[in-house]
DNA sequence: ATTGTCATGAGAACCATTATCAAGTAGCGG
DNA sequence: CCGCTACTTGATAATGGTTCTCATGACAAT
């Protein structure tokens, strides 16, 4: 696991997924991406879209989240990984940027000797419209 | 929608779920709760556990999140919960206490008008023993 | 071109969750 | 207590997103 995973091969399908992800600003599910590619005339299987997006997420090429309904959604990587404030009632989501979280994560990692650190932070609440 | 839903009835099954949730500190899935109750000799159906936990979450009696794998998990509503640094390889866990997270959560809530705030934070990495 | 290896994809398998609906039970008014 | 009615329960089926299977096809180094 520490060592080099073999690099992904360059295929037409992978290029198509990569290309479409750079044109989309919002989070899309794998099913959405598959449907969109099909609509554009690309011949690509659903399983391949799932695999490719998962791989791209693992490699840091896209960000992945879970919608409140539990489905995975992907979006092209903006600079810096961010977090969300989610309404429990209606699912409305606001992007938030906690200060110093990256730095604090590194500090905690050093303190306990952990490496390859990552963090997951989500805030939950009830939005103004849901009282 | 906003107003009067009929209040839940007092049943043996609901009492059992409510009771077990007060004894558990960590997030548990509905399946976990169901298995645990069965192991304790409670006769209760899986669907009922799902329904009861969903209802309790809607009523604010428990908090609910989605794990990175996409499954729903529930935890009793309590002040002063803690967080973890988890090794991806061996599962080793260290309790951690991020500074100012409570205060920052409140501040973000006020900023966007969200109420009933809670947060979920976990750190993941590779522990010293796993290199 | 040949060959070993990885990627693809159609469909099946998987699994958490939800819907179905007949039977049981809580709670209330009499 | 009695009975009525609406709510709850639970075994099972259905749903739907995601992953697995494995035969076939494509990539890339020789």
pLDDT in tens, A43-95: 999 999 999 999 999 888 888 888 778 899 998 876 556 787 877 666 677 88
The answer to whether residue A112 scores a pLDDT higher than 50 is: yes
**Domain shared by A43 and A19, yes or no:** yes
| Reported confidence tier of residue A131, pLDDT bands at 50, 70, 90 | low
Q: What is the predicted pLDDT for the residue at B84?
A: 80
**Domain shared by B65 and B110, yes or no:** no
**Domain shared by A53 and A87, yes or no:** no
**For the sheet containing A62-66, what is the strand order?**
A28-29, A72-76, A62-66
**Domain shared by B100 and B117, yes or no:** yes
- Residue B37: CATH number of its domain: 1.10.10.10
Q: What is the predicted pLDDT for the residue at A89?
A: 66
Residue B44 inside a domain? The answer is yes
Q: What is the predicted pLDDT for the residue at B20?
A: 96
Which residues of chain B are within 8 Å of residue A94 when distances are taken between CB atoms? 112
Q: Can you spell out the DSSP letters for A100-116?
A: THHHHHHHHHHHHT-EE
Residue A29 inside a domain? The answer is yes
**Domain shared by B110 and B72, yes or no:** no
**Domain shared by A72 and A102, yes or no:** no
d(CA B73, CA B24): 12
Residue A37's nearest CA partner among A59, A13, A58, A56 is A13
Residue A118 inside a domain? The answer is yes
C-alpha distances out from residue B104 to B45, B91, B101, B130, Å: 40, 29, 5, 33
Residue A121's nearest CA partner among B32, B92, B100 is B100
Which residues of chain A are within 8 Å of residue B131 when distances are taken between CB atoms? 2
- Which of B57, B65, B127 lies at the smallest CB-CB distance from A113? B127
Q: What residues form DSSP beta bridges with A65?
A: A73
Residue A56's nearest CA partner among A118, A96, A7 is A7
**Domain shared by B54 and B88, yes or no:** no
Q: What is the CA radius of gyration of chain A?
A: 17
Number of structural domains in chain A:
2
**Domain shared by A72 and A50, yes or no:** yes
- Which of B96, B112, B119 lies at the smallest CB-CB distance from A108? B96
| Reported confidence tier of residue A2, pLDDT bands at 50, 70, 90 | very low
**Domain shared by A18 and A65, yes or no:** yes
Residue A4 inside a domain? The answer is no
Which residues of chain B are within 8 Å of residue A66 when distances are taken between CB atoms? 66, 68, 70
Over residues B70-89, the pLDDT tens digits come to: 899 998 876 556 788 877 66
Where is the domain boundary, A56, A77, A98?
A: A77
- Residue B130: CATH number of its domain: 3.30.1490.190
**Domain shared by A68 and A37, yes or no:** yes
Residue B7's nearest CA partner among B75, B56, B74 is B56
Question: Rounded to a whole number, what is the largest CA-CA distance in chain A?
Answer: 52
Where is the domain boundary, B31, B61, B77?
A: B77
Ranges of chain B with pLDDT below 50: 1-3
C-alpha distances out from residue B46 to B36, B98, B103, Å: 11, 36, 38
**Domain shared by A62 and A113, yes or no:** no
List the A35 CA – D20 C1' distance (angstroms). Answer: 22
Q: What is the predicted pLDDT for the residue at B41?
A: 92
Q: Which is more confident, B86 or A107?
A: A107
Residue A1 inside a domain? The answer is no
H or E segment at B57? helix B46-58
**Domain shared by A61 and A29, yes or no:** yes
Domain of residue A16, residue span: 9-77
Q: Å from B95 to nearest chain A CA?
A: 11
């Amino acid at each position: 696991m520490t060592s080099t995973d073999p690099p992904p091969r360059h295929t037409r399908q992978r290029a198509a997924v990569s290309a479409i992800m750079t044109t989309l600003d919002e989070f899309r599910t794998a099913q959405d991406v598959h449907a969109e590619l099909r609509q554009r005339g690309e011949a690509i299987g659903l399983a391949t879209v799932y695999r490719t997006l998962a791989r791209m997420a693992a490699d840091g090429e896209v960000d992945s989240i879970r919608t409140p309904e539990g489905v995975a959604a992907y979006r092209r990587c903006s600079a810096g990984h961010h977090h969300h404030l989610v309404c429990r009632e209606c699912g409305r989501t606001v992007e938030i940027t906690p200060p110093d979280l990256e730095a604090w994560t590194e500090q905690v990692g050093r303190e306990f000797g952990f490496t390859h650190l990552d963090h997951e932070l989500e805030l939950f609440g009830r939005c103004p419209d849901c009282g």
